[in-house]
Amino acid sequence: MNKNEDGEYINSSVQVHFEKDKQLVPYFFTCKNLEYLGSVADGEIVYFKFAPKEKVAEAIERYYSRTAEPAQPKDLLDNVERFKTEIFRHRDGMKGRD
């Protein structure tokens, strides 16, 4: 993974957004116009990859301005569990490296 001058991770082949925020990631999973591309760990930090980057920026704006489409509570809570599972998967994968 490469970082740009702002310290953000970039993927040169596709416009990908890397996110680690524990509130945004579950919300992104509910956004039908975003594609989840997997997760990657950089040390102890896990980044979740979403595309297209422009649509992610719009979703972030809607989230913080409180104009996002409503999500079903069950879907959102399932996505919180999905987020946590990915974090633990990466953490457990690092145990053998110590």
CA distance 4 to 89: 27
Confidence of residue 93 (pLDDT cuts 50, 70, 90): confident
pLDDT in tens, 22-80: 999 999 999 999 999 999 999 889 999 999 999 999 999 999 999 999 999 999 999 99
**pLDDT computed for residue 98 by the predictor:** 43
Beta strands in the chain (DSSP E): 2-3, 9-10, 17-19, 35-42, 45-51
The answer for residues whose C-beta is within 8 angstroms of residue 89's C-beta and 6 or more apart is: none
For residue 76, give both structure tokens.
């959102």
What local confidence, expressed as pLDDT, does residue 36 receive? 96
Rounded to 10 degrees, the C-alpha dihedral 87/19/22/79 comes to -70
The number of distinct structural domains making up the chain is 1
- CA 78 to centroid of chain Cα atoms: 15
What global pTM score does this model have?
A: 0.77
Q: Which domain holds residue 17?
A: 2-97
